[in-house]
Amino acid sequence: MNIAVVGLGALGIAFATFLKKAGNTVYGITKPEYLNRFPGGTVHVKGIWGNHSARLDGIYPSPADIKEKIRLVILTVKSYDTEKALTQIRPIVSEKTLIMIAQNGYGNYEKAVEMYGKKRVILARVIFGSKVVNGNTAEITVSADDVRIGDPSGKINREDVIKVVETINSSGIPASYSPDVYQILWDKILYNCALNPLGALLDATYGQLAENPETKKIMDNIITEIFQVTEKNNIKLRWESPQAYIEHFYGRLIPPTAKHYPSMYYDLKSGKKTEIDALNGAVVMLGKRAGVPTPVNETITRLIKFREKQSQ
């Protein structure tokens, strides 16, 4: 399969390395200032999935530099770069191209569908942890589940989606087909909204947040507001009540990742912009749209934006 990975950060490097090593034709797209991080076009993976290296078929600052027909575009950029990246990939998106949204938060899939239509866009929920080491290496630190891939709209040929799943799974990245991927993504949004900003603000691991009654109460309130907002916006979740999710959250989700720091923590430490607008900020936006107050999510969003300005 001819594949373009747009965004060679921690997630993009991981996808590109495994997919190229498995025999696919893989191009990487990264910002011009990052090109020198990839001498010889090489990318690497280390960590819990072993050590792997690959030489990509090309690493470019623009998708327009790719001359081959692309079957799959994997979008792994930060959510605040989504619209720009979607605009840039137009030269390589044909009638047979699928765009896989593999990003955090709400709004990325929706923006891609708005620009390319439901028959071009599939969704992936990624829940393995990865961080960049030495510029061109992704270290896989934790994996909670398969990459779940599906078509929320039901407009794309099922076999085409399954082909993407099989290509990724056979490369060494655990992946599975999930028709309910949109609900599964919202599971991750719940998880990230509760943990990421607090972990970043307080320099705390997920386990430390869950053990403290003060932060636990804040996380409970974040989750409860999200349930109220999604209900009013007709967004279907996989949980009947916030209490049911909260029980699963503390009992099943936190223990395997208790020592993990959120990516937002590392973003603030390195002076980068965070994805808060696609997480708690998106909850606030959806709340305003439906007339639902979201005071806890709004406060958390404002605090992260303050820290962003302070760290830049």
Residues annotated as catalytic (active site), given as ranges:
188
Identity of the amino acid at 176 = S
Give the DSSP letter of residue 251.
I
Q: Helices in 49-130 by DSSP H: which ranges?
A: 82-88, 108-116
Quick one: 289 exposed, middle or buried, by C-beta within 10 A (0-12, 13-18, 19+)? Answer: exposed
Question: Which of 201, 227, 189 has its CA nearest to residue 299?
Answer: 201
Distance (Å, rounded) from C-alpha 285 to C-alpha 274? Answer: 17
**Structure tokens of 6?**
């747009």
- The span from the CA of 288 to the CA of 234, in Å, is 14
Sequence-distant (6+) residues with CB within 8 A of 264 are 196, 197, 199, 200, 274, 275, 276, 304
